């Protein structure tokens, strides 16, 4: 005879049903947990034993075998405590066995029998809903789980749960967490001058383009990047759940509060590859996934470890992070806009135009820290010149983030319709258009085509740079409310392009 409870394991964001089977066997006293559990799972023994003691119950004598099935699926985390404890309570007759069949349990036990939240309550509750099961979780996870619209019991402790099942205690249904605004984002109005950089920011936001600001210290690069979330449209309802699931797995949701504000992640340049793209012993989403549907800001881009930057190429290309494990593959979504900022050279680039006391070599060496393939993925690469005293003396600009955001939203609307017409989904942005698609959606008019051909020849544009220009021109046309890409759109796209040190002489071949 054995008793079953249901819980789940995550492979990335994908929930996999796990059956917890508890059986009493004679012989040596002790709890044995089998089924590829990690350290947290094996330590569950001690927490379950202590929680039983707190209930005034003893773990039955003899061997208690806990089997987590399927056996070949790795199990990580402390949320197995609750299903193990419930199945054991069923096995010793404290709980009716059938009560456990229709529920999915997910939570950690404290030594005193209290229930503590585990990361991933939101996707777990959504999975329970999809499986037609009631979701049993700690009270502290209730506000988050309630977003899943599932049948929900959020209990403060194991004893409260036992009383609930026996009908002798009532657990109040949890209230869903609030939809919050989040901390105030600074306004674009604070940035004086830098008209081209602001325009580039708006174009990037509109088309979801990756963007790199290159300029001397104090020119406002970080200031500009930090204002990007303020001009991006809010997350759609579907995106909100998608983004929140990642945050839930990363344990970043506070009191069940979700926000439609797009994520903005700014990891320090000392971040490891695992921190940036995910991975490590227990696979957690990295910064690229935490920035899903939002912005990944890498300030001082060349200071990041080259391997870490290289690892970003795949997510930038495919919109997801894939991490290979011994016997499976973990995938997290990672459709983020990459925004980078850097000085033209290691010593800052002084106040001249990209020059310093050490001459162009300094810039060339510094820029070489960013690989060609990464740079190829950045549609907008622009110079941010030093701010002048005259700029700083200007009155605040008439337009701020609200005006820019309205234009961005309109341009995104046009792309949504395009994505729908092409069967690429409503969240389509021009930045995701492959070269083959560009011919269909971004072919310029005659004048534009002529200009593009001329520029391709005189500036020796590589095929990649050519396509980057077309993508950006398409977005500029969308911002203009234009159906087709015209000469002016191509001209502006061509103007938003920095010349890398050594480029003409072919010293930085990749940075075409």
When asked if residue 361 is in the footprint of Zn ion (CB under 5 A), the reply is no
CA dist 414 → 36, 216, 432, 479, 483 (Å): 49, 36, 14, 9, 9
Rg (CA), the chain: 27
* 356 counts as binding Zn ion under rule CB under 5 A: yes
Residue with Cβ nearer Zn ion (255 or 358)? 358
Nearest distance, CB of residue 358 and Zn ion, angstroms:
5
**Are the beta carbons of 146 and 139 closer than 8 angstroms?**
no
Q: Which stretch binds Zn ion (CB under 5 A): 158-166, 285-293, 352-360, 491-499?
A: 352-360
Q: How far is CA 140 from CA 31, 77, 85, 176, 475, in A?
A: 28, 17, 18, 11, 44
Nearer to ligand ATP, 164 or 192 (CB): 192
Site for Zn ion contains 29 (CB under 5 A)? no
Cβ neighbour number for residue 350 with a 10 Å cutoff: 18
Residue of 39, 255, 268, 358 interacting with Zn ion (CB under 5 A): 358
Q: Does 222 bind Mg ion (CB under 5 A)?
A: yes
Parallel, antiparallel, or unpaired for β 380-383 and 211-214? parallel
User: Looking at beta carbons, which residue is closest to ligand ATP?
Assistant: 220
Among the candidate windows 229-237, 330-338, 353-361, 502-510, which touches Zn ion by CB under 5 A? 353-361
Nearer to ligand ATP, 249 or 341 (CB): 341
- Closer by beta carbon to ligand ATP, 304 or else 428: 304
Helix or strand or coil: residue 316? helix
Q: Which residues bind ligand ATP (CB under 6 A)?
A: 191-194, 215, 217-223, 341, 343, 387, 392
Q: Name the strand (E) or helix (H) holding 375.
A: helix 372-376
CA distance 376 to 233: 26
Among 104, 345, 375, 508, binds Zn ion (CB under 5 A): 345
Q: Which does 197 bind (CB under 5 to 8 A by kind): ligand ATP, Mg ion, Zn ion, none?
A: none
Name which of 163 and 222 has its Cβ closer to ligand ATP. 222
Tell me if 249 contacts Zn ion by CB under 5 A: no
In the complex, minimum distance from the CB of residue 193 to ligand ATP, in angstroms, rounded to a whole number: 5
Instruction: Give the C-alpha separation, 99 to 114, whole Å.
Output: 20
Beta strands in 26-117 (DSSP E): 30-34, 63-69, 103-105, 108-109, 115-116
Contact region with Mg ion (CB under 5 A), list: 80-88, 220-228, 305-313, 417-425: 220-228
Least CB distance to ligand ATP at residue 495 (A)? 20
Supply the DSSP string of 402-419, one letter for each residue. Answer: HHHHHHHHHHHHHHHHHH
Q: Which is nearer to ligand ATP, 117 or 220 (CB)?
A: 220
Pair 48, 31: CB distance under 8 Å: yes
CB of 427 to Mg ion, least distance (A): 30
């Amino acid at each position: 005879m054995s008793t079953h409870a249901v819980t789940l394991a995550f492979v990335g964001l994908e929930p996999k049903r796990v059956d917890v089977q508890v059986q009493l066997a004679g012989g040596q006293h002790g709890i044995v947990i089998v089924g590829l559990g990690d350290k947290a799972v094996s330590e569950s023994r001690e927490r379950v034993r202590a929680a039983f003691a707190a209930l005034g119950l003893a773990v039955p004598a003899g061997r208690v075998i806990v089997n987590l099935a399927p056996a070949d699926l790795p199990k990580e985390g402390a949320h197995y405590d609750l299903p193990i404890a419930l199945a054991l309570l069923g096995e010793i007759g404290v709980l009716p066995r059938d009560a456990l069949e229709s529920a999915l349990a997910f939570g950690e036990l404290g030594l005193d029998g209290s229930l503590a939240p585990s990361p991933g309550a939101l996707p777990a509750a959504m999975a329970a809903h999809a499986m037609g099961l009631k979701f049993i979780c700690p009270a502290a996870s209730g506000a988050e789980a309630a977003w899943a619209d599932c049948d929900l019991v959020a209990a403060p402790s194991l004893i409260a749960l036992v009383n609930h099942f026996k009908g002798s205690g009532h657990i109040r249904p949890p209230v869903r967490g609030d939809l919050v605004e989040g901390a105030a984002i600074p306004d674009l109005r604070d940035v004086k001058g830098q008209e081209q950089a602001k325009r580039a920011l708006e174009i990037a936001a509109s088309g979801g383009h990756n963007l790199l600001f290159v300029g001397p210290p104090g020119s406002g690069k970080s200031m500009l990047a930090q204002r990007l979330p303020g001009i991006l449209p809010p997350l759609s309802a579907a995106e909100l759940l998608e983004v929140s699931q990642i945050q839930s797995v990363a344990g970043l949701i506070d009191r069940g509060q979700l926000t439609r504000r797009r994520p903005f992640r700014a990891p320090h340049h000392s971040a490891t590859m695992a921190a940036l793209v995910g991975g490590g012993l227990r696979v957690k989403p990295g910064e690229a996934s935490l920035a899903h549907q939002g912005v990944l800001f890498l300030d001082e881009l060349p200071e990041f470890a080259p391997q870490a930057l290289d690892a970003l190429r795949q997510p930038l290309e495919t919109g997801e992070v894939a991490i290979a494990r011994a016997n499976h593959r973990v995938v997290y979504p990672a459709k983020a806009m990459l925004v980078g900022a850097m000085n033209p050279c290691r010593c800052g680039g002084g106040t001249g135009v990209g020059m310093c006391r050490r001459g162009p070599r300094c810039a060339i060496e510094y820029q070489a820290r960013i690989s060609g393939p990464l740079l190829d993925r950045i549609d907008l690469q622009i110079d941010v010149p030093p701010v002048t005293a005259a700029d700083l003396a200007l009155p605040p600009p008439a337009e701020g983030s609200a005006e820019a955001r309205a234009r961005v939203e309109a341009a995104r609307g046009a792309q949504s319709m395009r994505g729908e017409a092409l069967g690429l989904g409503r969240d389509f942005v021009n930045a995701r258009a492959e070269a083959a698609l560009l011919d269909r959606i971004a072919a310029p008019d005659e004048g534009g085509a002529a200009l593009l051909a001329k520029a391709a020849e005189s500036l020796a544009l590589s095929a990649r740079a050519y396509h980057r220009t077309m993508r950006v021109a398409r977005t500029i046309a969308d911002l203009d409310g234009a159906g087709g890409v015209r000469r002016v759109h191509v001209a502006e796209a061509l103007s938003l392009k920095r010349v890398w040190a050594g480029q003409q002489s072919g010293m930085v071949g990749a940075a075409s």
